[in-house]
Structure formats: C-alpha cells, structure tokens
Structure 1
C-alpha cells in the first residue's frame, strides 16, 4: 500500500523507504545514501514512523539509473558510467573536483584515500590492521612459491583476509569504509619485508618501503613514495577499476572486488608496465646509450614502455609531478639522464612524452628496488580507488553492469555435432 494517496491541495504522492528501495532496485540503506549525496530528498510526515519520498523524484532517479545501466556511447562506442570520483580533462586530473597533483603534493596517501571515500580530509590519519588479520594474510602469502609476483601475493592476502572477516558481506557504507581502512595496511603487512628489523608503524609509505628496498629509508625517498601512492590512487575507469565495479554491481564484498581489480592489474598493459620500463632503464644504463636499446626493442616488434598515454595528448601530469621530486632525490641523476635519453631518442620517430610508468621506473631503479616494485606501488595505491568505486557502485541498482552480447556465430538451428 502506498504511504499516502494524493489529496486535494496535496497532489504529490509519497513513498515509504521500502517502496522507494523496491522502485530503485536497491537496499533501504542505499536509499539513505542517495539522500546523503543529494540525489533524493526525504521528509518525515507528522506522526509517521519513517521518512517518505516524492514518487516523481524517485521515478526520475530510477529512469536516470536505467539510462546509466544501459551505458551511453561516447565517440568510440565505449561504456560510459557516471562517477563523482575522478575527472581527466586537458592533461590534468581531479579527485572530487580537486587537482590530484596538488592533493598528492600536500597530503599523505591515507588522507587522499579518505578524501576519495568520504569527501572529507582527515589530517594525520594512518591506517592500521588488526594482528589477527595480518597473521592470516601472512600465513597464506608465506605458503606461496618464492618466485610469486607481487600482485599474486596481494590477491592471496586479500582473499585470506576476507576469510578472517565474518562481516565482509555487510555492504553498508560504514562497514565498507571500516574494511578499507583495515584491508590496505593488511595487504602491505602481508608482503615479505626486504629489510629486516623494520617496525610496522607510521604512515603507510614507511611500512611499504621495507617491502620494496633493502636500503634505509630517507625522507626524500619516502616523500617520493608517498606522493606516488597519492598520484596513483585512482585514474577514472581503467580496466581494473571497471572489473571492480562489475564485481560490486553483483554485490561482491570489498575483498572480492579488490581481488577482481588485482587480477586485471597484472596484465603487461596495465599495472606491470612500470616493470618493463624499469628493465629498459637498466639496459640503457648498462649500455650507456639509449639508441641501441631502443633499436633492439623496435626490431623485436615491441613498443617502447614508459612513453605516451591515450588519455593525455600532452604530458602525463603524474609523471610531471614525480619527475619534479625525483630531481631532488640523491642518487637519481643517472636514471633521470637515461629516461631523458629514451624520450629524446624515440622523439626522432614519434614525439611521445614520458608517462608515470617511466617516472616510477626512475624511482625504483634509483632506490635499488626490483623491477616488480612499481607494480606493487601501483597495486597498493589503486586499492583505495577501487574501494571508492565499489562504494559508489553499491549505491547503484544491482547488476546494472550487464551488457548484452552481440551474437555473430552460426544461426540456429544447427545440427547436433557428431
């Protein structure tokens, strides 16, 4: 039964929370999430026990959700999803409307993550994980073969941490935020340390350093690492982020959604690209000249890693921000010179700017890190962005990320195969 029928002088029809949730195909908690975002208005009727909602406003939101779920085509016919998280525009990018490079220059990774999740800055916040969750994740990771890559380790750690969390299926906003603040430090703590005797305390960048380099951490290096984490938090609907949103659309819990993103991230065209740039830099440093190295890459039919980005016709703003810091990093001079040599050599054929993968490679090479370190930094950083997108998707109609296939196979009926 409808909450209130139209009456003379009061033509609008009101719906209960339950009716509103049914109309939108969401949980009642999500209805109030729409209210908090300003997408719905609510009113408590005199003598009523709960909030009511304008039926016309609810129907307008439902129509908008249906349009979004079908995907609006851009110039390339690609899926388009409404989001309030990241905007990429004219060689700059923004987190909730704020320049991302400025955020990363002034705030820690944890503070930027909170901004993405809640729209609020919490100065000085650090993420810590309970010992029980870390112990479960570490045992799972320690059981893997020694040659296991960082993304596999992180994925196993995420799954193990999920098994230790009986509340993982609670998809309310507060519960997901609580999970996020625990999951990210758990992933870092589960990675085997390179440098022994390091205490897992302080900002996340300090704890991550011990998993990447055997050298003692200095303040300039930690600043580069923390800035890199902040710059890489999110980058709109990258392939891994889309996978996370698909999982969240099916109401997978946050650990499973993050695991989906990690699976896609491992591809050489995504999170592993910095490792290719790292090895290229080492080759150039070994040869003392980029020309023969670039020639060998092109002769083998490989594209030169660390150059160009499909979303930035000009300079990648993330690379620009990191290179500015790397110039102040002790010992980074040779790797920076090698990177400039790579850009100048390839510019004779194709004028491409350095991207964030090359900047990450300069950092990892200069810091004595393995070639997989950039992938680890990328994965840890992007986990916060994935959580932000999962949170956003939990507030949408379930299973809206379900495109229809365009069948191009043999037309039925076909005979049964012999």
Structure 2
C-alpha cells in the first residue's frame, strides 16, 4: 500500500539546509552526509553559501520511512533482538509457514524446486526443474576439483559459488528477473560441482535425484528420494537464522546474489548451525555401535556438552520439520535401526531434561540409513537453504541500502590515551 501519511505543510518545493534536514530527520548533521554517501539523500551545493541544500520532499519521505522502520524493524528495547520485516517465513508456536502456507504441507505435496519458486515469486510452477549452464558447471567443477581432498562440503559449495559468479558477467544486475535467473542456475550448479559417488550417475531429473548421487554410492529407492526431496523443501528457509541474517547484511550493502549466498555459506559452517546434523550423525553411529544410548548420552553430559539433535529455541514443543521427516522415515527401507537409536537418545536424555528431537536428528537418521557421510546433512542443509537466501536477497534489495548497520557500543578505554611505545623497551 502507498504511504498515506500527511505531508508537512510548507515543505513542498523547498530546499532545506543541513541543519534543517538534521532536525527534521532527528539526527546529527554528520549523519545527514552519511545518508548522502549511501545514496539515500541527494544534495545540491548552495551557490550563495558554503553548505549543501536538500529537497524537502525527499527529506520528508526519508523521515517517514525511518519512522516506520523504527516502529516495525528496530530491535525491541525489552528483548534486545534485531527484528526485520519479512513476508517469507512465519514461525508460530510449533508450526512454520512459507508466505502464509503451512511449510510441512507444502513439502509433503510439492518438490523442492516448486517450493523455491513459491518462496521467490508467490506462484507455483508445477513440474519446474532447475538446470545449470554448461559453462557455469565447467568453471565450478574445475575450481572444486582443485581443492585439497580433506575439504568439507561447505568449502566446495563456497568455492563453486564464487567460481559461478566469476563466470557470470551480468552478476551485478540486481533486478528481480536477473536475481531469479541466478537462483535457478546457481542451485543446480552447486549440486553439479560436487563430485559424484557413483560412476553411472546422471545429472537429470529433479534436483533431489541429482543430489543423491553426490551423497550416497547406493542405488536409491523411491521412498529415499522422496525423503531427500522433502528434507530439501522443509529446510528451504527458517526465518532469520544466523546465515540468513548474514545474507541480508550482504544484500543490504547491494552485494550481488552470488556474494550474498557466499556470506550465508560462510556462517553455515559453524557447528551450531548447518554442521549440527553431522554431530547428530556421529552420535547415532555411536549409539548403534554400543547398542544403547545411555553410555553415549552420559559421555556428552559428563563433558558438559549439549546432546546433539535435541531441542530448538524457537519451538517449545516438537520441531515440525523433524516430525514430518520422522513420519516419512518410518517407511524408508533400512531406517528402522537408526530410528530406534534416535528414540533411545530422546528417551534417555528425557531423564535429565525433557527435550524433543529437532530436524538435525531426523536428518541424521536419514543420512545414517542411506550410507552417507557425516557431512551429508550439512550439504543437504546448504543446498536447501540457498533457495531461502535468494528469497531474502530479493526482499532486502527492496529496502533502503545499508540499513543493516547497527551502532557499536564502545566499552574500551576512554580517550585520550597515551601513544603506545615500542615493545621490549
């Protein structure tokens, strides 16, 4: 909707001095020039004086925008957490929604690519599949193949994204159509850049089918492919997770879409985010090896570590993503032992603290049952979330530039301090 706030009387057609502009915006004069440097205000040199003047109508529009963002976007004085307006994902109690539609129902009915399109455009494109330009894939594979053997999945994906960006001379086009095109080609490029584990693997069909051959050397059955596709759809987005916030900061600075995705991949590698499923994977293997969760959970608690795969700060009850995956895993061939181990972990830990299984544990059951490595969950997470990052990049490009710029609260020594002398004297 258009802004219907009444205009301030007497400002139409006027030029304002720096002092008047600062007063109207409620900021210091130096902040006015910061707005100019960011492209949020235009200035004109006053021919009769030494200062600059500003269009009153433009200043008033900026003031209105700032007032809206102060009330709707700023961090709460009570919670101290950053709050950003978004139309993408809503998390409410023990459910979450993509553009107002239950995300678990979307993942149950539609493919990963279809959900990505819904997130980006608000429209469903039945049967859509993403394909990558051969030139982009060639460059990305060459870059990934040059990495050391011990490189992790996020290393490979980050290098593939950078290589794909370098191969795209139009990457600085931030228009909606261009960014959508980037999303539709970057995601399959990331998948194609990963080394296949099967010699007979072919890059055809839905993205989940292409990804399987890079995660497992086994021949997939229909149920297993369905679980993988559903996992991708469930993990597409999850509000402002740490990696998504990094993406929005990059987009706020008008970094191109490849760079914004690279920012997200950099944060995703942390053990508290995308790599968490790997910890749950190893925990499950330990439980399967010992035949009981009790000694494994005891070791975790004795070391002062939280048990991987349990609890989520946004869900007081069960993680809806875990619930959806566990339902599908019940019908997956060979998943019964890992499912039993996961239940044992939850039951054993409940004696100490009542925590529900989260999506990392469900993802670990899938990767263990599919003969995948511990890092496979991280790969699934990263590929899935790239679609959400593209959605947040598109949304952030609609906001004013560089709004993701909090002020630091300096707590160091107060100046002036004496100039430090050389060491060793």
1:103 aligns with 2:106: yes
- Root-mean-square deviation over aligned CA pairs: 2.1
Structure 2 distance, partners of 1:67, 1:203, is: 43
Structure 1 contact 85–95 (Cα < 8 Å) conserved: yes
Structure 2 contact 243–267 (Cα < 8 Å) conserved: yes
Structure 1 contact 92–317 (Cα < 8 Å) conserved: yes
> Closer, same or farther in 2 for the Cα pair 1:183/1:224, shift >3 Å?
same
Please show how residues 14-413 of structure 1 align to structure 2 within 5 Å.
Answer: 62-64=65-67, 66-67=69-70, 71-73=74-76, 75-413=78-416
Deviation at 1:61, TM superposition (A): 5.8
Deviation at 1:65, TM superposition (A): 5.5
Partner of 2:402: helix, strand, or coil? coil
Deviation at 1:67, TM superposition (A): 2.2
Partner of 1:387: helix, strand, or coil? helix
C-alpha distance after superposition, 1:169-228 (max 9, x if no partner): 000000000011000000000000111221101100000000000001110000000000
Structure 1 contact 274–357 (Cα < 8 Å) conserved: yes
Structure 2 distance, partners of 1:391, 1:137, is: 24
Deviation at 1:63, TM superposition (A): 3.4
Partner of 1:87: helix, strand, or coil? strand
Partner of 2:262: helix, strand, or coil? helix
Q: Pick the structure with greater CA Rg.
A: 2
> Closer, same or farther in 2 for the Cα pair 1:63/1:133, shift >3 Å?
same
C-alpha distance after superposition, 1:320-366 (max 9, x if no partner): 00000000001000000000000000000100000000000000000
C-alpha distance after superposition, 1:114-151 (max 9, x if no partner): 00000000000000001000000000000001110000
> Closer, same or farther in 2 for the Cα pair 1:400/1:406, shift >3 Å?
same
Structure 1 contact 176–391 (Cα < 8 Å) conserved: yes
> Closer, same or farther in 2 for the Cα pair 1:174/1:26, shift >3 Å?
farther
Structure 1: stretches of 5+ with no match in the other structure: 1-10, 15-21, 28-53
- TM-score, length of structure 2 as denominator length: 0.85
Structure 1 contact 70–400 (Cα < 8 Å) conserved: no
Structure 2 distance, partners of 1:270, 1:74, is: 27
What is the count of residue pairs matched by the alignment? 374
Structure 2 distance, partners of 1:75, 1:349, is: 31
Structure 1 contact 91–314 (Cα < 8 Å) conserved: yes
Structure 2 distance, partners of 1:257, 1:207, is: 24
Deviation at 1:64, TM superposition (A): 4.8
Structure 2 distance, partners of 1:123, 1:220, is: 21
Could you say which residue in structure 2 is the equivalent of 1:416?
A: 419
Structure 1 distance, partners of 2:40, 2:412, is: 36
